[in-house]
Structure 1
Amino acid sequence: MDEKKIRELYAQSEIDSVYQTLNSSSKGLSSEEAEKRLEKYGLNEIKRPPKQSQWQTFIKNFTTLMAILLWISGFIAIVSGTMELGIAIWLVNIINGTFSFWQERQAQKATDALNKMLESYVQVYRDGKKKQVEAKHIVPGDVFALQAGSKVPADARIISATSLQVDQSALNGESVPESKRTSFDPGEGKYAESNMVYSGTTAVSGTATAICFSTGMDTELGQIAHLTQEQEKVDSPLTRELNRLTKQISIIAFTIGLFFFIASIFFVKQPFGAAFIFSLGMIVAFIPEGLLPTVTLSLAQGVKRMAKKHALVKELNSVETLGETTVICSDKTGTLTQNQMTIHYIRTLNDEFEVTGDGYVNNGQVELNGKQLWYDEHPDLKVITEIASLDNDTSIENKDGQNKILGTPTEASLVIMAQKAGYDIHKQMVKKPRLREFPFDSERKKMSTVNQISDSEAAVLVKGSYSDLIKDCNFVQVNGEVKPLTAEDKQKLDRLNADYARQGLRSMGLAYKKIKNDDAISNLTIETAESQLVFAGLVTMSDPPRPEIYDAIKHCHDAKIRVVMVTGDSKLTAKTVAVKIGITSEKARVIDGRELDEMSDSELREALKDEVIFARVAPEQKYKIVKTFQENGEVVAATGDGVNDAPALKRADIGIAMGLSGTDVAKDAANMILTDDNFASIVAAIEEGRTVYSNIRKFLTYILSSNVPEAIPSVLYLLSGGLIPLPLTVMQILTIDLGTDMLPALALGAEPSDPDVMKRAPISRDEHLLNKRVLVKAFLWYGLLEALVSIAAYFFVNKQAGLVFGHLAASGDIYIKATTMTLGAIVFSQIANVINCRTEKVSVFKKGLFINPHIWTGILFEIILFIILTVTPGVQGIFNTGVLGISDWIMLCLIPIPLILIEEARKKLFRINK
């Protein structure tokens, strides 16, 4: 039998039949029977998927495609006779893999600490007595007690209930608690059965006893967790792109190696062995050994910056994935909104009072026509405030500056409203004590109390659904006077209520009547108490948007990122909030869960191309929405905090869970956790992601540029048949790639965001890191300029010695000086290149020459390393270098200036013509 049928069976059966099915009773189980069932059904807990061992995680970081290519490169270097460089390449790989492993472990530790929770306990009836046990020891057939603030430990059928309201937002996304009772009513939407409570939800008011029928992974929460765990992990776009890039670079490197091998045999007539070693050196030269360290460093620095902004990234690649995000599928309650009901207006027949101040703060005020009012300055405001405060079971505690609700969010909003009106609730409750109460239930949708107001007089105070309350009202209070409620008055109030509903505000009616304070009060019935009432007014409320959400949504739109609301709340509420915070316009289509079920895949794909909002959706439907967006070619980020969000979080390219209000299941499924539940942190994360992607491209441009001046001297050597001796040796080429270029390249990974990074469209999934633009800029612009400069330096030294083509130095001091100058020209050209690569379009002077100190550290390092190579006797022989004169150094130091100015001119021309 599937879960739905099991749920229906327990909901619709008589309670005696439930006892019989579960072989239990109203007194619960015996301790002995509970132990047997615990052994049979297992612990009442959500099983988490097994994690990779530390050893597996460690090995994973050394077996990526790029890592494998580096292992091969190191081996080739060793075979070619350069043992030191081969070992250096392997050390680069080892350091990078170890760093990646360490970073992932740190993120995992932080996540584990975030998810760690105190053991929860529940009051269970065992052996006919109430006793406290750990929630994980609950078994089917157990009878347990609930009260305000209790977490529901398992799926259960209600046996008895008094004013029970349950917050089910973790399961269904609803911001309004559900009323629960013993009789069955299917309700609206999933999990809405009136006599059922579910694991993962919370009792916010009232008391109840219930009998458990499902625990652990068999609960509704467990089924959602299972659905989440079934989803295969999706590789991030960066992982896929790095794999593609590795293949591209491998093809380029081995193609070039093959070319040089063939050319050295046929053009220079080198022996097979010498030609092979020479081509191996060229292959190693064209492999970007610094790619993995730069990518890892860029991602790690993005993670570090995000941590300071309250975003915990569990995997490095998640930062970059955010940079490619095109769609954010966002839950509403607790994500876009504050998940706390707030009163906006108090409405009498003739006056509207505005309640100011955001959320649960008591430093706001109540105004009429811009004038601040206290509750006793207007007779209608006074009676409304008293009804809202005295006919109320919720209190608010302020601890360490944080408000804690003991009751329902709806009643809490009335308490805060009274505080803003200057009403001293505690004093008035003593002065006007409660004599009787008629708890709220979902049938009549009202709550009433009888309070003493004098020795001879009492008052029935009533609050509830406007449409249900107005039927019991025969009078209305206007400016302190009570008069008959006319048809015209009722029509006016109906219009006002409808207007508030169109604004997405929920209305609550308040009424009262005075009665004698005598013995008859004890015999008062609900019917007699809630009749012939005086209508006092309406209060209107909503779950307000987070204050920072407006700017966050605007930044998303500026960055060409769609935000789509996917919520379990009603269609009207969803659309009102979405339009208010700027997610969509009024023309947006609202699709609910029922419509979504009836839509074909093709219809849904078409619907997702336009403005759309999803309301009343179930967990599996959220997953379907994310999946269909991905099938439309979108890179999807999904946000949420509830169990119902987990499958979509797992399926999304990046799942973002709320750290404070989020459930463990949601956090486990997510790639990133917002530790302050601040949606605006997502925008900062997107900027970081785009910066990381941009920096990787800058790095690629930088390191590929030097391949051209490294290759052209060898091409000249081959094409001239050896008449032009090698202007650059293989050892010098490897020195550039693994020596002088490394730190400046890594520094590009720490480059701050370009000013226009959040004004660009998201990077297309079809656009690759190594694209035509990068290749053209690296090879045909920066590379050719550097090649011209380096070859000019080589011929300059020969010309100074009086040597011309055909008679160039092939050995001796002049040849050593020529190759040293060629190497130096490339090093100093790369100084200009690293500065030029810091921006794509903006002037580097406008961005700031010194805002990335790592660049200058890298430049200083490569200059010092070049000096060491030229003046250290033992090193000179290995790298074929020699000491340079003062005039040579002046020439080298001047090289960056024209290269920077030429690039600045190109960028300015681009900005003018764009």
Structure 2
Amino acid sequence: MSLQIPENLTGLNEDEVEQSRQTSGHNRMTAPPKSNWWKLLTEILKEPMLILLMVISVIYLSVGNYGEALFMIVALILVSGISFYQDSRSKKALEALEKLNEPLSKVIRKSTVVQIPTHEIVVGDLCITSEGQMINADGRIVYSNDFTVNEASLTGESFAVSKGSGQEDSYVYSGTVAVSGISVFEVEAVGVNTRIGKIGDSMTGIIEQKSPLQLQIERFVKGMSVLGVVVFLLVCAVNWYYTRNFAESLLNGLTLAMSILPEEIPVAFTTFMALGAWKLMQQGIIIKKSSVVETMGSTTVICTDKTGTITENSMHLKAVYNYKNNRTYEEVEFDVPELAEIISYAMWSSEPMPFDPMEKTLHKIYADTQVEDLRNEYIMIHEYPLEGHPPMMTHVFQNSSGSRFIAAKGAPEAIAQVSELSPAQRLTVRSYIDDFGKKGYRLLGVARSHFTGVNFPEKQQDLPFEFLGFVVFHDPPKKGIREVFKQINEAGIEVKVITGDNAQTARTIAAQSGIIGYSKMVSGEEIASMSEQELRKTVRDKVLFARMFPDAKLAVVNALKKNGEVVAMLGDGVNDGPALKAAHIGVAMGIKGTEMAKAAASLVLTDDDLGKLLTGIAAGRRIYSNLKKAVQYIISIHIPIIVAVSLPLFLGWAFPQIFTPVHVIFLELVMGPTCSIVYENEPMEKDTMSRNPRPLSETFLTWRELSLSIIQGLVISAGILFVYQLSYRDGGGEETVRTMVFTTLIFANILLSLANRSFHYSIFESFRNRNILLAYVIGTTILLLAAMLYVDEVRSFFQLSQLNFAQLLTAFGVAAVSVLWFEVYKLVKRFRLITAN
């Protein structure tokens, strides 16, 4: 059966499309313009670190230190170049995600139905929309068949509104959702000219809410910035007191400000999240907003549908039960005359253009078994959409002579309930439902009705139905699904199965799939009758939720959230929309998911593979862990720089200005790539997915973690101060002391970047996690240090001296002691953990 569209609906040709686009524009909402390279560079140059570099360059030029000024300008170009590279990578990743998230729309052009990206719809296009799809432009219906729309996005009212070409209300609007039927509408407004576009235009000034992690990081950076200002003023004052040299005092203060300012942290956050989302996209996981990556690692409960998620969604017709002769027929018998009626009515109760696998199967079986195919002779004149608890649906088809098929299908309990059956007959039907359910089969009850008038009852349940039997589908669990659930359980994540199927079928499939606690079951009707306290306890204890309807699904998600769980909800239908929207992570299916489900979700699995969600959760944990490592590294390495710049001055040591801005900026050039490029590329630690999820309310750095990073920094500080005094007492001049302190700090930085790859495993075990970028950064740093020590022109510029082998060994030895004590700490920590278990 094909979509019967009047012949006069031919649509636009290519010239008309282009002319309309020139007149009315693209079908896009007003959005902030994409950042070009000039705007991106301007934003980067506003960063505090770059402003400091510009100020220092000006000071050097004003006092005649042209070499230092040139170095600062080169450093300015390098730092801005690194930031530009990172920002452009992040923005390109986000733009790629935007393109993938754009839905396709069906339009009629030159009498042919084609699919186009939604932004290419133009005024005058003929758009086709059907059940479960988002309407993507404003227009007037020119053809429809029992078409209803949910306009909650505009009106706030969630009920379905009937619309049609011959009705008073014949207009549809962008952003609303088709609930049932099918329609063709002529586009009259696109983009900002649509009703929702005008609303959206008034909201462009609204700032998107930041995630808890973003807020925590911002607070930390602001705190460090305030500290930097205070210490800057203090250093300027102390230096002025000793030297009465304003330019030197200002340079010293700016040097310390540069050492305190942790500008790498917000850059690292943006880079980690955007590139994380981009990498997941390449694996078939489309994330609509990069901050979702952060939440994924905290998932504690996965609420999953059964059909197509746990099962193959193959919907193979296994058997047909004929109620009239009380007999079940296997596949080889489907063409017998006794089944013609039930197969025929099962097909007529399906959509004319089926998208559901069961309905596709019923159309195929009908074509293969019926003596005469009547589908092209009948059109649907009335439709009752899927509704009720349990649900059912009814279709009315009629031919030119007035002959009708009134067919219903749905949950077998629902069909039996509306049919004219005695209590004994209902018990017989119930026993068959249980028997098939225990085998894991999915059942649809089928019934027929007769109605001669045109004023159909408001509810389908009011029609007189004759029970015909069941169509029995076999939809086995996916291969490898047991292993997926095993890994989910090992990750400390609970699984709840939420399905519209009956209890027996759901229980059998859950058992075959390895769901822990599958016998702990509750129904949607029971959920609906519970108080809030009862519901919160029930969702904590139960695992299997059968015969669920939209309100019950939403209630379960909200109750889990109130219990403090971080919920990932998987859904594919229109009725899953509210629950997907309410969950922390709404997950839609890319293949069988409706546009409504995809619009409500924050994440789309392109191949409907539940295992991909596990991949996403693992990526979320890896990214969060690596971001934390990067921030702890930044804190630890900044402390000794601050100490080296400030303490000799405050204590009145022989060489108070041991580091100048050129030394600090070199260290910044080493630290920037390490934290935001190297750590972002760090592989996941081997026990990451065997740990329990972190609470979403947990602060980014606990006091214990922050204290550990501060201690690491202070121990390195003690090491470089020891080298300072050792070199000075051995008779070293300012350049020798500076070189020893600087070299020790470079070695400590390299060792710290290696040690902090894991806060649990040893540095040697971490070598098994291959990270080629780390090797590149360390190799480059060592080569640059060698040039600074042994190339005369470079050494002279940085005011350093050559070091002999003993001095190099001393610098490395002190760096090793000041960093590698952490390896002993990790060993003791692991030993205590083993003995405790």
**Structure 2-normalised TM-score?**
0.68
Write out per-residue CA displacement over residues 499-534 of structure 1, whole angstroms, 9 at most, x where no aligned residue: 65699965346899xxxxxxxxxxxxxxxxxx9x9x
Matching of residue 245 in structure 1 with residue 245 in structure 2: no
Matching of residue 884 in structure 1 with residue 815 in structure 2: no
Displacement of 1:301 in angstroms is: 3.9
Between 309-318 and 633-642, report the one with greater CA deviation.
Answer: 633-642
Displacement of 1:870 in angstroms is: 1.6
Between 870-879 and 657-666, report the one with greater CA deviation.
Answer: 657-666
Displacement of 1:214 in angstroms is: 12
Write out per-residue CA displacement over residues 867-907 of structure 1, whole angstroms, 9 at most, x where no aligned residue: 11122333323322122223333444556665675333221
**What is the rounded CA distance, in whole Å, between the counterparts of 1:249 and 1:741 in structure 2?**
17
What does residue 788 of structure 2 align with? 869
Write out per-residue CA displacement over residues 150-183 of structure 1, whole angstroms, 9 at most, x where no aligned residue: 999999999998xx8x999x999xxxxxxxxxxx
Displacement of 1:854 in angstroms is: 1.2
What does residue 51 of structure 1 align with? 31
What does residue 69 of structure 1 align with? 48
Displacement of 1:851 in angstroms is: 0.8
What does residue 17 of structure 2 align with? none
C-alpha distance 566-192 of structure 1, shift in aligned 2 (>3 A)? farther
Displacement of 1:838 in angstroms is: 0.6
Match of 1:495 among 409, 412, 431: 431
| 8 A contact 1:228–1:647 mirrored in 2 | no
What is the letter of the counterpart of residue 49 of structure 2?
A: L
Q: How does 1:180-329 map to 2 (within 5 A)?
A: 191=160, 201=178, 233-261=208-236, 263-264=238-239, 271=245, 274-326=248-300
Matching of residue 843 in structure 1 with residue 762 in structure 2: yes
Matching of residue 738 in structure 1 with residue 712 in structure 2: no
Write out per-residue CA displacement over residues 74-123 of structure 1, whole angstroms, 9 at most, x where no aligned residue: 34544653644366357534642564345434543554366363542399
**What is the rounded CA distance, in whole Å, between the counterparts of 2:395 and 2:582 in structure 1?**
43
**What is the rounded CA distance, in whole Å, between the counterparts of 2:651 and 2:356 in structure 1?**
87
Write out per-residue CA displacement over residues 620-663 of structure 1, whole angstroms, 9 at most, x where no aligned residue: x95x9878977887666565555666677677665554444455
Write out per-residue CA displacement over residues 284-310 of structure 1, whole angstroms, 9 at most, x where no aligned residue: 012234334433443344234312311
**What is the rounded CA distance, in whole Å, between the counterparts of 2:668 and 2:133 in structure 1?**
63
Match of 2:87 among 69, 78, 100: 100
**What is the rounded CA distance, in whole Å, between the counterparts of 1:552 and 1:61 in structure 2?**
45
Displacement of 1:348 in angstroms is: 8.3
Q: How does 1:360-399 map to 2 (within 5 A)?
A: 375=332, 393=347
Gaps of 5+ in 1: 1-25, 32-42, 125-133, 173-188, 355-365, 367-372, 397-403, 419-424, 450-459, 475-484, 513-530, 804-808
What is the letter of the counterpart of residue 443 of structure 2?
A: S
Q: How does 1:626-637 map to 2 (within 5 A)?
A: none
**What is the rounded CA distance, in whole Å, between the counterparts of 2:419 and 2:672 in structure 1?**
83
| 8 A contact 1:253–1:282 mirrored in 2 | yes
What is the letter of the counterpart of residue 540 of structure 1?
A: V
Between 745-754 and 254-263, report the one with greater CA deviation.
Answer: 254-263
C-alpha distance 122-842 of structure 1, shift in aligned 2 (>3 A)? same
Match of 2:611 among 680, 684, 692: 680
Displacement of 1:751 in angstroms is: 0.4
C-alpha distance 889-119 of structure 1, shift in aligned 2 (>3 A)? same
Displacement of 1:239 in angstroms is: 3.0
What does residue 37 of structure 1 align with? none
| 8 A contact 1:388–1:415 mirrored in 2 | no
| 8 A contact 2:124–2:186 mirrored in 1 | no
What is the letter of the counterpart of residue 285 of structure 2?
A: A
C-alpha distance 815-59 of structure 1, shift in aligned 2 (>3 A)? same
Paired residue secondary structure (2:255): helix
Q: How does 1:340-419 map to 2 (within 5 A)?
A: 341-343=315-317, 375=332, 393=347, 409-413=357-361
| 8 A contact 2:569–2:587 mirrored in 1 | yes
**What is the rounded CA distance, in whole Å, between the counterparts of 1:652 and 1:507 in structure 2?**
29
What is the letter of the counterpart of residue 83 of structure 2?
A: N
Q: How does 1:408-557 map to 2 (within 5 A)?
A: 409-413=357-361, 429=370, 491-498=427-434, 500=436, 507-508=443-444, 538-541=470-473, 552=484, 555-557=487-489
C-alpha distance 729-688 of structure 1, shift in aligned 2 (>3 A)? same
| 8 A contact 1:389–1:414 mirrored in 2 | yes
Paired residue secondary structure (2:104): coil
Paired residue secondary structure (1:120): strand
What is the letter of the counterpart of residue 85 of structure 1?
A: M
**What is the rounded CA distance, in whole Å, between the counterparts of 1:510 and 1:856 in structure 2?**
66
| 8 A contact 2:224–2:261 mirrored in 1 | yes
What does residue 400 of structure 1 align with? none
Matching of residue 88 in structure 1 with residue 88 in structure 2: no
**What is the rounded CA distance, in whole Å, between the counterparts of 1:57 and 1:332 in structure 2?**
47
| 8 A contact 2:747–2:811 mirrored in 1 | yes
Match of 1:767 among 698, 707, 710: 698
What does residue 460 of structure 2 align with? none
**What is the rounded CA distance, in whole Å, between the counterparts of 2:235 and 2:129 in structure 1?**
79
What does residue 787 of structure 1 align with? 717
Write out per-residue CA displacement over residues 800-849 of structure 1, whole angstroms, 9 at most, x where no aligned residue: x4x3xxxxx5xxxx431222121111111222111111112123433434
Q: How does 1:579-598 map to 2 (within 5 A)?
A: 582=515, 595=528
**What is the rounded CA distance, in whole Å, between the counterparts of 1:823 and 1:352 in structure 2?**
90
Return the index of the structure with the highest Cα Rg: 1
**What is the rounded CA distance, in whole Å, between the counterparts of 1:889 and 1:252 in structure 2?**
34
Write out per-residue CA displacement over residues 319-378 of structure 1, whole angstroms, 9 at most, x where no aligned residue: 3343344566767776666666454666689x9999xxxxxxxxxxx9xxxxxx8726xx
What is the letter of the counterpart of residue 48 of structure 2?
A: L
**What is the rounded CA distance, in whole Å, between the counterparts of 2:239 and 2:135 in structure 1?**
77
| 8 A contact 1:156–1:212 mirrored in 2 | yes
C-alpha distance 45-285 of structure 1, shift in aligned 2 (>3 A)? closer
| 8 A contact 2:395–2:408 mirrored in 1 | yes
Paired residue secondary structure (1:754): coil
Displacement of 1:695 in angstroms is: 1.3
What is the letter of the counterpart of residue 215 of structure 2?
A: R
C-alpha distance 898-594 of structure 1, shift in aligned 2 (>3 A)? closer
What is the letter of the counterpart of residue 72 of structure 2?
A: L
C-alpha distance 94-863 of structure 1, shift in aligned 2 (>3 A)? closer
What does residue 550 of structure 2 align with? 617
C-alpha distance 311-262 of structure 1, shift in aligned 2 (>3 A)? same
Displacement of 1:278 in angstroms is: 1.3
What is the letter of the counterpart of residue 867 of structure 1?
A: A
Gaps of 5+ in 2: 1-5, 12-22, 61-67, 112-120, 153-157, 385-391, 398-404, 449-463
Displacement of 1:554 in angstroms is: 5.2
**What is the rounded CA distance, in whole Å, between the counterparts of 1:472 and 1:695 in structure 2?**
58
Q: Percentage identity across aligned positions?
A: 21
C-alpha distance 216-579 of structure 1, shift in aligned 2 (>3 A)? farther
Match of 2:682 among 751, 764, 769: 751
C-alpha distance 80-500 of structure 1, shift in aligned 2 (>3 A)? farther
Paired residue secondary structure (2:286): strand
**What is the rounded CA distance, in whole Å, between the counterparts of 2:820 and 2:76 in structure 1?**
35
What is the letter of the counterpart of residue 794 of structure 1?
A: Y
Paired residue secondary structure (1:54): coil
Paired residue secondary structure (1:299): helix
What is the letter of the counterpart of residue 296 of structure 2?
A: L
| 8 A contact 2:125–2:187 mirrored in 1 | no
What is the letter of the counterpart of residue 826 of structure 1?
A: L
